[in-house]
Amino acid sequence: MHPFAKPDPERLLAKIIAIVEDDADQRSNYTDAITKKGYEVHAYGSREEALEGFDAGLPDLAILDIILGEEVDAGFQLCRDLLARAPNLPVIFLTERIDEIDKISGLRLGAWDYLPKPISLDYLAERISSLLRINEARDQEPEADSPSARQIGDLTLDQDALLASWKGERIDLSGTEFRMLAKLVRMPGHAVSYETLMNATMQSLVTNNTINTHMRNIRKKFEKTDSDFACIKSEYGYGYRWSQQ
């Protein structure tokens, strides 16, 4: 930009996407595709570079590879660091590590999504937009008597904003967790199968253990607000059930 040129106000308001990827070609491809969608991209090739960048300022969303150079779990470490600084920051793992144990580890850390390589750049851009819309809606004051809100006992679900609250206290769920919860409470008291919950995730590479991990995370978030929370019941070998307290 020319030193005397006026800054583009839309550019100043652009969401910042951090990409941490050690493969230079992939990093460049992701950067170009996401920049074309109107985002500002900060790209890093190592954990050290990323940490230095995060010290200068946190992004609005982070995309992390897991293996960075010789560090086989660098992405997991970065995720821990980011969420310690900003617990509600959307994090996407984008990786060739597709073993179930890796996906479960990522979800337990608090990642919002876990995507396998190779990936369509258009699909990646759409996932970014979707997660940012959800996070933006959560930052706004909820409207009283929202037409998209549903009340199930002490639980309130706002389908448009993907927001959940328990006894008036907001529960910060990822988009995947919210969709699973909405499916679970559609018919309170009735068991919901693993297969139905898998479909609700809108993700690939989903197994029973992945669903169990999601449910464990959902429970923990409710229990953080209400230590007596006990509405999510496991149906051994079948799935889960929402039981009113």
The per-residue pLDDT for range 185-212, each reduced to its tens digit, is 998 999 999 999 998 887 767 889 989 9
* CA 9 to the chain's CA centroid: 28
Domain final residue pick, 110, 138, 166: 138
Q: How many domains does the chain have?
A: 2
Q: What is the DSSP letter of 146?
A: -
Backbone angles phi, psi at 213, to 5 degrees: -65, -45
128 and 149 inside one domain: no
HEC string of 113-145?
Answer: EEEECCCCHHHHHHHHHHHHHHHHHHHCCCCCC
* Average pLDDT of span 8-35: 86
Domain final residue pick, 138, 168, 192: 138
Residue 8 has pLDDT above 70, yes or no: no
Tell me what pLDDT residue 3 has: 39
Q: Which amino acid is at 204?
A: S
117 and 46 inside one domain: yes
Residues with Cβ within 8 Å of 185's Cβ and at least 6 positions away in sequence, in order, are 152, 155, 157, 242
Q: Give the model confidence (pLDDT) of 138-176 as tens digits.
A: 666 555 455 668 899 999 998 777 789 999 998 988 888
13 and 132 inside one domain: yes
Domain CATH number, residue 215: 1.10.10.10
Q: How far apart are CA 238 and CA 155, in angstroms?
A: 24
* Average pLDDT of span 214-222: 94
Q: How far apart are CA 30 and CA 235, in angstroms?
A: 42
Tell me what pLDDT residue 156 has: 93
Please, which pLDDT band fits residue 6 given cuts at 50, 70 and 90?
A: very low
Domain final residue pick, 109, 138, 167: 138
In a domain, 3, yes or no: no
In a domain, 2, yes or no: no
Question: Greatest CA span in the chain, whole angstroms?
Answer: 67
Q: How far apart are CA 103 and CA 107, in angstroms?
A: 6
Per the CB < 8 A criterion, the answer to whether 204 and 198 are in contact is: no
118 and 201 inside one domain: no
Range of the domain at 93: 9-138
User: How do strand 61-64 and strand 113-116 relate by DSSP bridges?
Assistant: unpaired
Tell me what pLDDT residue 22 has: 96
109 and 199 inside one domain: no
* Average pLDDT of span 178-184: 92
207 and 97 inside one domain: no
